Amino acid sequence: METLKKRFPTKQIYVGGVAIGGDAPISVQSMTFSKTADLKATKEQIDKLQLAGCDIVRVAVSDEEDAHALKELKEQISLPLVADIHFRYKLALIAAQSVDCIRINPGNIGSKEKIKAVVEACKERNIPIRIGVNAGSLEKQFENKYGATPKGMIESALYNIKLLEDFGFSEIKVSLKASDVERTMSAYRGLRELVRYPFHLGVTEAGDLESSMIKSSMALGGLLMEGIGDTMRVSITGELEKEIEVARGILRYSGRQKEGITYISCPTCGRLQADLVPLLKEIKAKMPPIKTPMQLSVMGCAVNALGEAKHADVAIAFGSGDGLIIKKGEIIGKYKQENLIEVFIDEVVKTQKEMEKSED
Ligand code: SF4
């Protein structure tokens, strides 16, 4: 049985220039934590996210000041912008004039007229709506009947989808977030059988770096391998750029993103000749962003390096006071420790250019 399943065929929508669903690459999103109307702070965070490899950014719109700030914010950034709105449909009407997507649950905004007004505003600018179901804030009718369960989340999503479809709107993506792995996975799996809209994957309130990395790797990684998911956010308390790094890692290690560097570092053993942990950290920090799919090996001794790094595009093997650089299984030189990492990075960049050229 294949472990990596084919992706579910979903409808393709666009958030700005980024396609979501269908055969589009799985995009990575994040959310700023500044007050959105504080344009300086918000833009600073968006720039950092973009540099880290974020594809789409979401900002909270909690009052009119935030809603009106979106126009200027949009002019200052190039990432597609999503406005996150709870309850107040008037904020959605203002936001829809500037942003590339609205996140709002129509079931929360009141009368049919209000839903219709939001739908019309989005239709006018041809922007999609994300329905963001959250286990912790289901509509009363679902919470009373099912509790905060996957069934309740699925019923809430279907209800919200129908509210939009009733007004002829189908530029929809859906998220079904719970704070634990099991409910998150069950909800997405259940709804995937029932609709063809693209899914935004995430675990909500996933916690700090360690707990979010584990929960997100299990839930998002598992779903991605089952073919579920079109865009994703890893939420980590207080770690903006790490969200992107972890999301990219999950995509790569679940086999859904080929591009970029995959690091293989030796597990270390009694033959270790250098302090590998800080050296690996230094390499990762100094490595320029690379999109070409490459495998790099970082080895703790020169003795077994040739054999253990033979599948790597470029490998570095630390000896005591010096080390080897190995390219596609061939040693290309022995260098002093002082400039070993710089030589390695130069070789990676050179190899990447050669690989890119041979693809043309
Ligand atoms: S590369 Fe060297 S140090 Fe690392 S696991 Fe292999 S033998 Fe041990």
Q: How far is the CA of 279 from the centre of ligand 1 (A)?
A: 15
Give tens-digit pLDDT for 121-133: 999 999 999 999 9
Which ligand 1 atom is nearest residue 272's CA? 3
Name the β-bridge partners of 265.
298
Residue boundaries of the structural domains of the chain? 13-254, 261-359
Average pLDDT, integer, range 224-245: 92
Which one, of 85, 112, 114, lies nearest residue 99 by Cα? 85
Mean pLDDT of the chain: 93
Predicted confidence (pLDDT) at residue 1 exceeds the cutoff of 70: no
Lowest mean pLDDT among 98-102, 181-185, 266-270, 337-341: 266-270
266 CA closest ligand 1 atom index: 4
Binding residues: 266, 269, 301, 308
Mean pLDDT along residues 85-110: 93
Structure tokens at 193: 């059988």
- What CA–CA distance (Å, rounded) separates 161 from 130? 10
CA 194 to chain CA mean position, Å: 24
In CATH terms, the superfamily for domain 13-254 is Dihydropteroate synthase-like (3.20.20.20)
Range in 33-47, 190-204, 281-295 the model is least confident about:
281-295
What is the Å distance from ligand 1's center to 230 Cα?
Answer: 38
Distance (Å, whole) CA 134 – CA 152: 10
Single-letter residue type at 155: E
pLDDT in tens, 187-230: 999 999 999 999 999 998 878 889 999 999 999 999 999 999 99
pLDDT at residue 174 in the model: 98
Count of residues making up the chain: 360
Instruction: Quote the pLDDT of residue 289.
Output: 84
pLDDT value for 304: 77
What angle is formed at CA 170 by the lines to CA 168 and CA 172, rounded to 5 degrees?
140
Contact (Cβ atoms closer than 8 angstroms) between residue 115 and residue 145:
no
pTM of the model as a whole:
0.85
Residue partners of 314: CB distance under 8 A and separation at least 6: 294, 296, 297, 325, 326, 327, 328, 344, 347, 348, 351
Q: How confident is the model at residue 308 (pLDDT cuts 50, 70, 90)?
A: confident
Architecture of domain 261-359: 2-Layer Sandwich (3.30)
Strands, E, within 122-273: which ranges? 129-134, 172-177, 200-201, 231-233, 261-265
What one-character-per-residue DSSP string does 177-208 give?
E-SSHHHHHHHHHHHHTT--S-BEE--TT--S
Average pLDDT in the 297-312 region?
85
Compute, in angstroms, the gap from residue 299 CA to the centroid of ligand 1. Answer: 6
Half-sphere CA count of 252, side-chain side, radius 13 A: 17
Instruction: Tell how far the Cα of 331 is from the centroid of ligand 1, in angstroms.
Output: 17
**Ligand 1, CB cutoff 6 Å, lining residues:** 266-269, 271-272, 299-301, 303-305, 308
Checking 164-171 for CB contacts under 8 A at 24+ apart, the result is 164/106, 164/115, 164/119, 164/129, 164/131, 167/115, 167/116, 167/119, 167/120, 168/119, 169/119, 169/122, 169/123, 169/129, 170/11, 170/197, 171/13, 171/122, 171/126, 171/127, 171/128, 171/129
Average pLDDT on 112-129 reads 95
Q: Token digits for 200?
A: 């935004």
In this prediction, residue 302 has a pLDDT band, given cuts at 50, 70 and 90, of confident
Tokens, residue 237: 């308390």
Beta bridge partners of 172: 129
| Residue 6 DSSP symbol | P
In this structure, what are the phi and psi dihedrals at residue 293, rounded to the nearest 5 degrees? -65, 120
Looking at the chain, the whole-number percentage of residues with pLDDT higher than 70 is 99
pLDDT tens-place string over residues 251-275 = 999 999 888 888 888 888 888 899 9
- Encode pLDDT of 321-358 as tens digits: 899 999 999 999 999 999 999 999 999 999 999 998 88
Q: Which helix (H) or strand (E) holds 229?
A: none
In this predicted structure, the answer to whether residue 3 has a pLDDT above a threshold of 80 is no
Atom of ligand 1 nearest to the CA of 273: 3
Q: What is the DSSP string of 279-344?
A: HHHHHHHHSPP--S-EEEEEES-STTHHHHTTTSSEEEEE-SSEEEEEETTEEEEEEEHHHHHHHH
pLDDT tens per residue across span 42-52: 999 999 999 88
Is the CB of residue 300 less than 8 Å from the CB of residue 352?
A: no
